[in-house]
Every structure is written in structure tokens, then in C-alpha cells.
């Protein structure tokens, strides 16, 4: 009898083990199916990232010289942000803030040529962990001083970084058996920015676009996230034929702000280097040519997505790391809080989620990119970020408690901080008295309204916002004794 019971007990145990294994198998298959279904529902992500790009060269931002129908079509299908700013209007700090959702002072990248802290989590990390194929082609500028430094060791989630280079605004690139190289060399055999022999296959914008197209086609059957980071239209201002002559003779308007007397410039916008109308006429046609070449290549990417049946399944973001003054205030390039330097294009389309033709006027910045992208994709982000999820704004579902404010800051040494709304920009600097611009009445930023009675209530509100930013985020510039004294003066009753 005991033997019979022992046999029955053994059979029951085996049956239990078999049932348990079956349950684990089924649950595993269900989990795999759920992950697969979840991935199938996720959009692809394509971020097209230009460098030193004045927003007003794009038709959708009011540009009248360069035709940009392809970039404009992204805005028409999605949403365009009219008051979008670089957290710091130079390359490395802005790039660090965009991929991490953190202000530059919290990434370790407060000026150019500094490496991103290794513990920083990027949107590439977030999507790679969720099964996305990820990659980056073009300028990175977050690995220190290496130049060009192909395929930096730290990838931050962008797994295919074969065509990523750290620094430089190379005009001619090539693929060799040993990997990518700069295709132009000087007499010493060093890589340079030459264009000799360049064509539509080797010019950097075309070449990098080819790499992006290859990635899209290779990964068309799975969710992907790819960043196409173009080194144009950053200087040197030269571009391949036929774009080099396309805008020769075009009307070049001299900005009124270029004609200001030297005494009218704030101390945070040094009087040098100064440029003149002759410089504009020589350089802007080449700059416009670079923008046109970018738009034509955006068209190639859109055609590829359309041909592969991916256009409606892809979230497309078009933006830049910072602007270029292009002669405004007698300056070129960037680094100051003026609109041409700090304000950048930000356009996003995602047909399943974003209604067409949206215009978002609330002030946003590059720290808001990561949380906003994840919000549009329906991904909960567990990491701590400084930015805000503006996906409701972009979906044209304005949240009732949204605060129209953005903060931007200088690189180390300049010590200025600005609070910006859709209409106003307040700049505190250790080198000057405070400045207030009314962007709605004075878009060229010619007049300091800091002492005008009609603005005092608004100024105090912006000062309170800056102090809250200081307390919640932390910004060493706002601890500067000169700036602290200026801020306290406005906080007095």
C-alpha cells in the first residue's frame, strides 16, 4: 500500500512540475508576444539635427530667400514651436541638454569640448533598452576634444555609431575598407575643410544622409531611432556646386540691429568680432546654399520613408543645436541670448498622435526634448530630468497649469542667465545691468525696457521664476554676487 502511495505521489509531483513548466513556457511566450506587439505599436524615431542654424532661413519660420519645401512639409504634417531655445547657445552644452533632458550644469558639459558624464542617460539609452535599433551619424561633440574622432567609445545608447564623429565641420567624407574618413587633406596630410573634387556622393550633408537612408532600409522591419546630425550650416560658409552659386545675387537685407552705435550694445554681447554688409553679401549666399542642400536631402529621407511604407509610422524631429546671428547686432555665430543665436527651429511630426499644422507659442528649450519625445510615444520615463513633457501642447491639448517660461544660460566665463516667455526675455549678467526685451514689440531686440513702468509687474514675475529655477534645478550663475544683488532688488516689495 505504501508503495502504491509513493508511486501516486511521484506521479502527482511530476505532473505538477510539467504543469509549472508549461505555465512558465506559456507566460514567456505571452511576454514575448506582448513585447513584440508593444514594439510594433511604437513609432520609429528620426531626429534631423543641424548645426548653427538660423530659424528664419526656413520657409515655415517666415524665410523668404531659401525654398525649404521638404522641411516645411514636416511642419505642415505636424507641429512647429515658435519659441524654442538652446539651453546654452553653443554646440556641446546644447547637445548634452537635448539628449539627456538636463540643463548643461547638470551634465558636466558647460562649454564646448567637454565629455558628457558617463552616468548620463540619453533617449538613445531609453529606446535601446526597449528593443529599438539605435544609431547616430554625423557630429556628436560630447566626447571631449578629439577631432574628428570617429565612433567615440561611449555611445550613450546609440549602438550603431560607426559614422559618428566627435568634432569638426568637414565638407568631404568617404568610406574606406578601414572605416569612414575625412576626404580632404592639407599639404601636411591632415584632415581639413576643403571641397576639392566634392560631389553629391561625398559632400558631408549628402554622404551622411546616405548613411541614414541605409540605416532606415536595413531596419525597416523593426522599430528604430536614428539621429542624422549634419555639420552644416555651421561655418566655414562654403558648399558644393550647384548650391555654391544658387543664391549669388539674391537680395541680402542688412538688419537694422547692425546699425546700432557701439554704446547701444550690452556688455554680454561684446563689440567684437563685428561684421559689415560686405561680409553679409559674401557669406550669406553660401549659408543659404547649405540650407538648401539640407532641405533637398531631407526630401530624400522623406521619399525613402514613404517608399518603405514608414512615413506614417515615424516620428520626425527637425531641430538644431543653436542659431547663427547672420549679421544681426553686427555679429555672426552664437553664444549670446539674442534670438538669432539662442532661438532654434523645432518641428515634429507623428501622424498617429500630432494633429497637422500645429503652432506652439509657449517658450520651450532643449531640456524639454527628451521628456516630450517620450510623452508623445507613451513611454514612462523613470529617470530624473530637468525638462518638462510638452507633449500635450504639441498634441494641441493645452494643459491648464502650463507655465510659459524657459531658462537659458551662457558658457562658463560669460555668466548670464535669461528667463524667456513667448513675449518677454529678461537677461541678468555679472557684466552688465539687467536687460528686458519685449519680443512682440521689438523682435530685433533693440531696446532695453528694464526701467519702463509698464513692465515692472512682469519683471517681478520673471524674477520669481528665476529664483524658483535656482532653488529647484540649481544654477551656479544665479549664485554670482552681482546677479544675486540684481535679483534681490526686483524681489523687494
User: What is the value of pTM for the model shown?
Assistant: 0.91
Kindly state whether residues 357 and 419 are assigned to the same domain: no
Domain membership flag for residue 406 = no
Question: Tell me: the pLDDT tens digits for 332-386?
Answer: 999 999 999 999 999 999 999 999 999 999 999 999 999 999 999 999 988 999 9
Interatomic CA distance for residues 255 and 171, integer angstroms: 29
Any idea which of 130-139, 302-311, 482-491 has the lowest mean pLDDT?
Answer: 482-491
Kindly state whether residues 307 and 453 are assigned to the same domain: no
Position 39 confidence tier, pLDDT thresholds 50, 70, 90: low
Q: Quickly count: other Cβ atoms within 10 Å of residue 219's Cβ.
A: 19
| Percent of the chain surpassing pLDDT 90 | 85
CATH number (domain holding residue 445) = 3.30.1120.10
The whole-number average pLDDT for the span 263-278 is 82
What pLDDT is attached to residue 414? 81
Q: What are phi and psi of 440, to 5 degrees?
A: -75, -35
Nearest CA among 448, 57, 61, 446 for reference residue 258: 446
Kindly state whether residues 155 and 283 are assigned to the same domain: yes
Kindly state whether residues 292 and 423 are assigned to the same domain: no
Domain membership flag for residue 381 = yes
Any idea which of 21-25, 126-130, 132-136, 174-178 has the lowest mean pLDDT?
Answer: 21-25
User: Residue 226: enclosing H or E segment and its boundaries?
Assistant: strand 224-229
The tally of CA atoms less than 13 A away on the side-chain side of residue 196 is 6
Cell, residue 50: 543641424
Interatomic CA distance for residues 137 and 119, integer angstroms: 22
Question: Tell me: the pLDDT tens digits for 46-103?
Answer: 999 999 999 999 999 999 999 999 999 999 999 999 999 999 999 999 999 999 999 9
* Residue-wise DSSP of 315-334: EEEEEES----TTGGG--S-
Task: Please state whether beta strands 79-81 and 358-360 pair in parallel, antiparallel, or not at all (unpaired).
Answer: parallel
Kindly state whether residues 260 and 290 are assigned to the same domain: yes
Task: Please state whether beta strands 164-165 and 133-139 pair in parallel, antiparallel, or not at all (unpaired).
Answer: parallel
What pLDDT is attached to residue 3? 52
What pLDDT is attached to residue 491? 82
Q: Based on the structure, what is the number of domains in the chain?
A: 2
Domain that holds residue 149: 41-394
Nearest CA among 412, 316, 371, 327 for reference residue 90: 412
Question: Is residue 11 predicted with pLDDT exceeding 50?
Answer: no
Kindly state whether residues 245 and 388 are assigned to the same domain: yes
Domain membership flag for residue 89 = yes
Kindly state whether residues 293 and 222 are assigned to the same domain: yes
Position 443 confidence tier, pLDDT thresholds 50, 70, 90: very high
Domain membership flag for residue 18 = no
Of 405 and 262, the structure prediction assigns the larger pLDDT to 405
What pLDDT is attached to residue 228? 99
Cell, residue 25: 513556457
Amino acid at each position: 500500500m505504501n508503495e502504491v502511495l509513493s508511486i501516486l505521489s511521484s506521479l502527482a509531483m511530476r505532473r505538477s512540475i510539467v504543469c509549472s513548466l508549461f505555465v512558465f513556457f506559456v507566460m514567456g511566450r505571452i511576454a514575448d508576444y506582448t513585447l513584440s506587439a508593444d514594439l510594433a505599436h511604437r513609432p520609429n524615431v528620426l531626429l534631423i539635427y543641424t548645426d548653427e542654424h538660423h530659424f528664419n532661413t526656413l520657409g515655415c519660420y517666415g524665410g523668404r530667400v531659401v525654398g525649404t519645401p521638404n522641411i516645411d512639409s514636416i511642419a505642415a504634417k505636424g507641429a512647429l514651436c515658435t519659441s524654442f531655445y538652446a539651453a546654452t547657445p553653443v554646440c556641446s552644452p546644447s547637445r548634452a541638454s537635448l539628449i539627456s533632458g538636463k540643463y548643461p550644469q547638470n551634465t558636466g558639459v558647460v562649454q564646448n569640448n567637454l565629455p558628457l558624464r558617463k552616468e548620463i542617460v540619453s533617449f538613445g539609452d531609453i529606446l535601446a533598452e526597449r528593443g529599438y535599433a539605435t544609431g547616430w551619424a554625423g557630429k556628436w561633440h560630447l566626447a571631449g576634444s578629439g577631432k574628428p574622432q570617429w565612433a567615440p567609445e561611449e555611445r550613450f545608447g546609440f549602438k550603431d555609431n560607426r559614422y559618428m564623429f566627435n568634432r569638426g565641420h568637414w565638407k568631404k567624407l568617404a568610406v574606406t575598407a578601414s572605416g569612414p574618413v575625412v576626404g580632404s587633406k592639407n599639404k601636411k596630410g591632415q584632415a581639413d575643410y576643403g571641397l576639392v573634387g566634392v560631389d553629391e556622393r561625398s559632400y558631408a550633408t549628402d554622404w551622411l544622409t546616405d548613411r541614414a537612408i541605409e540605416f532606415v532600409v536595413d531596419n525597416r522591419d523593426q522599430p528604430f531611432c536614428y539621429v542624422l546630425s549634419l555639420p552644416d550650416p555651421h561655418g566655414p560658409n562654403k558648399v558644393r556646386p550647384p548650391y555654391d552659386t544658387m543664391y549669388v545675387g539674391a537680395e541680402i537685407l542688412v538688419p537694422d540691429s547692425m546699425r546700432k552705435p557701439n554704446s547701444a550694445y550690452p556688455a554680454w554681447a561684446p563689440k567684437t568680432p563685428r561684421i559689415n554688409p560686405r561680409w553679409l553679401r559674401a557669406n550669406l549666399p553660401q549659408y543659404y546654399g547649405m540650407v538648401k542642400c539640407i532641405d533637398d536631402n531631407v526630401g530624400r529621407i522623406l521619399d525613402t520613408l514613404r517608399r518603405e511604407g514608414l512615413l506614417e509610422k515615424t516620428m520626425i524631429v527637425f531641430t538644431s543645436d543653436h542659431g547663427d546671428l547672420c549679421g544681426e547686432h553686427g555679429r555672426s555665430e552664437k553664444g549670446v541670448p539674442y534670438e538669432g543665436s539662442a532661438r532654434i527651429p523645432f518641428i515634429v511630426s507623428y501622424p498617429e498622435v500630432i494633429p497637422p499644422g500645429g503652432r506652439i507659442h509657449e517658450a520651450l528649450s532643449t531640456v524639454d526634448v527628451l521628456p516630450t519625445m517620450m510623452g508623445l510615444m507613451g513611454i514612462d520615463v523613470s529617470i530624473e530630468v530637468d525638462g518638462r513633457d510638452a507633449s500635450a501642447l504639441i498634441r494641441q491639448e493645452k494643459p491648464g497649469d502650463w507655465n510659459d517660461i524657459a531658462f537659458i544660460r551662457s558658457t562658463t566665463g560669460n555668466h548670464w542667465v535669461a528667463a524667456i516667455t513667448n513675449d518677454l526675455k529678461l537677461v541678468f549678467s555679472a557684466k552688465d545691468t539687467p536687460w528686458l526685451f519685449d519680443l512682440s514689440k521689438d523682435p530685433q531686440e533693440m531696446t532695453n525696457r528694464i526701467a519702463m513702468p509698464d513692465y515692472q509687474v512682469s519683471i517681478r514675475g520673471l524674477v520669481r521664476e528665476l529664483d524658483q529655477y535656482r532653488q529647484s534645478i540649481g544654477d551656479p550663475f544665479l549664485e554670482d554676487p552681482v546677479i544675486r544683488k540684481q535679483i534681490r532688488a526686483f524681489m523687494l516689495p
